[in-house]
Amino acid sequence: MSKYFITTPIYYINDVPHIGHAYTTIAADVLARYHRAKGDEVFFLTGTDEHGAKIAEAAKKAAKEPQAFVDNLEKKFKEAWKNLNISYDEFFRTTNPDHEKQVQEFVQKLKDRGFVEKRSYEGLYCVGCEKFMKESELVDGKCPDHLKEPVRQKEENYFFKLSDSAISNKLINLISNNEFVIGPESRRNEIISKLKLGIEDISISRATVEWGIPFPGDESQTIYVWIDALLNYYTATKIYGKDDFWPANLHLMAKDILWFHAVIWPSMLLALDLPLPKKVFAHGFFTVDNQKMSKTIGNVLNPNDLVDKFGADAVRYAVLREFPFGEDGDISLDKIATQYNNLGNNLGNLVQRTISMMVKYKIRNTKFETNNKIQIDNEINNLDFMEALKKIDDFCMEQNKYIAEHEPWVLAKEGKKQELTDVLATVYNNLILLPDLLLPFMPETAEKMKKQLETLEPEPLFPRLDNSPYAVKQ
Ligand code: MSP
């Protein structure tokens, strides 16, 4: 039994969760459930990023005190994860006083080791990203992610000497030897080339942001929200008595925040001689109906609405089945509905017709050896969720085809009892392989399917949308 520590980003709590947050969290849940089923001791950590200018502005807009504001939204995240059957072990909040204390201690250690320097700085700050941006990163003077002009800010700040060549050289080596793994490969190469060009020091305090952790030794400043946030992965192990889970096995995120996880975070750890996470993986970004998700466009998909319409399992399945995990893609209500129907027509239909025929033709669940093996361990270990699900779908399709070709109903009519038994027992013995494979992706369906195969009482796994409570409301 080995230990497996997996994390999601801690999401900004400036608004309710959307399907983008759900996507990473579902993927992490699949891995957590997969490893638990394998017998590993799992620590699955998610949570919310609660400090900084972005949250303070959102609270102000809502005419609430920041703490009251985040306390209210935290519930929304937990509710969404409950609806999606996310089996996190701990939900982390950066406003946890134990975390605040440990972040201060960490920054103090960086200071003690000579990695912090006070300097005056002028730059363009994007509150949406919570980071300074270079002119070259802007498109028409705007942040390409938030479509807003960053604000020019001039402050005296404390800097983390990220440009220290001892650290960056060590990091380049660890990445090149794959001791610190960055995935996918293409993004790893991008990071290495960027690192080789040299990295700049990074401001780790804010003079104008009050909603944050006071900077040790200078209470007029707060600790930069990203330093506070990245540290959650490490402080959580201490707060929850899971010290022996560090280093993390995998930090999951999208490509928007890979630099923070692949460069800034490991540099902070290297500065204090702490072990680095084993792997960080950045999946793609998706659009909704081919547009960036935005409140103004009105195309933000709310995970709770989706679960109401399709059920948790179909949502989990649809987002991972639609496009490869490491690549950009598109999702929409229509695409999820199509995936739902595919599930019903393939897997759902297969289970129902097989069990119904076994009951109708009084075929007992006779033990029958089959050579058929289906394995998806490689795909899951490579985070190739789409391929894993496709394999399961293809397997179901083969079984449906086998039934169509062998026409059990004809065999029954012709009184060929032995052949009929063989055909249905073959399918049945292939079907009993599926619940274990489905479990990490669709835990409820796996459970229902297992039960139906035991009791031989079929019930639709994916009821038709038009006469079910999940019907798509037009
Ligand atoms: N608070 C920081 C993370 C700190 S982690 C130490 C943050 N929060 S966020 O709320 O903006 O979440 C960003 C993450 O949400 C992405 O990296 C990704 O995991 C997920 N996604 C948000 N929108 C998404 C898409 N449209 N597509 C795919 N993933 C999306 O950054």
Looking at the annotation, which residues are catalytic? 18, 21, 126, 129, 143, 146, 292, 295
**Predicted local distance difference test score (pLDDT) of residue 295:** 84
> CB under 8 Å to 193, separation ≥6 — which residues?
none
Please give the distance, rounded to the nearest whole angstrom, from the Cα atom of residue 216 to the centre of ligand 1.
Answer: 28
Please give the distance, rounded to the nearest whole angstrom, from the Cα atom of residue 21 to the centre of ligand 1.
Answer: 6
> CB under 8 Å to 181, separation ≥6 — which residues?
188, 278, 279, 280
What atom of ligand 1 comes closest to residue 8's alpha carbon? 19
For ligand 1, atom 16, the nearest C-alpha belongs to 254
**Predicted local distance difference test score (pLDDT) of residue 467:** 56
**Predicted local distance difference test score (pLDDT) of residue 106:** 98
What atom of ligand 1 comes closest to residue 256's alpha carbon? 17
For the record, the structure tokens of 206 come out as 């804010």
pLDDT beneath 50, residues of the chain: 473-474
For ligand 1, atom 5, the nearest C-alpha belongs to 9
What atom of ligand 1 comes closest to residue 230's alpha carbon? 6
pLDDT tens-digit map of 147-171 = 899 999 998 999 999 988 789 999 9
What atom of ligand 1 comes closest to residue 292's alpha carbon? 26
| Pocket probe mutation, ligand 1, options 257, 264, 265, 288, max atoms within 8 Å of Cβ | 257
**Predicted local distance difference test score (pLDDT) of residue 474:** 39
For ligand 1, atom 7, the nearest C-alpha belongs to 11
**Secondary structure of the chain in HEC code, one letter for each residue:** CCEEEEEEEEEECCCCCCHHHHHHHHHHHHHHHHHHHCCCEEEEEEEEECCCHHHHHHHHHCCCCHHHHHHHHHHHHHHHHHHCCCCCCEEEECCCHHHHHHHHHHHHHHHHCCCEEEEEEEEEEECCCCEEECHHHCECCECCCCCCCCEEEEEEEEEECCCCHHHHHHHHHHHHCCCCEEECHHHHHHHHHHHHCCCCCEECEECCCCCCCEECCEEEEEECHHHHHHCHHHHHHHHCCCHHHCCCCEEEEEHHHHHHHHHHHHHHHHHCCCCCCCEEEEECCEEECCECCCCCCCCCCCHHHHHHHHCHHHHHHHHHHHCCCCCCEEECHHHHHHHHHHHHHHHHHHHHHHHHHHHHCCCCCCCCCCCCCCCCHHHHHCCCHHHHHHHHHHHHHHHHHHHHHHCHHHHHHCCCHHHHHHHHHHHHHHHCCHHHHHCCCCHHHHHHHHHHHHHCCCCCCCCCHHHCCCCCCC
Please give the distance, rounded to the nearest whole angstrom, from the Cα atom of residue 45 to the centre of ligand 1.
Answer: 15
Please give the distance, rounded to the nearest whole angstrom, from the Cα atom of residue 280 to the centre of ligand 1.
Answer: 14
For ligand 1, atom 29, the nearest C-alpha belongs to 20
Ordered structural domains, the chain, with CATH: 3-284 (3.40.50.620), 333-455 (1.10.730.10)
**Predicted local distance difference test score (pLDDT) of residue 225:** 98
Please give the distance, rounded to the nearest whole angstrom, from the Cα atom of residue 173 to the centre of ligand 1.
Answer: 28
* Ligand 1 pocket, Cβ-based, cut-off 6 angstroms: 9-12, 20-21, 23-24, 49, 229-230, 232, 253-254, 256-257, 285-286, 293
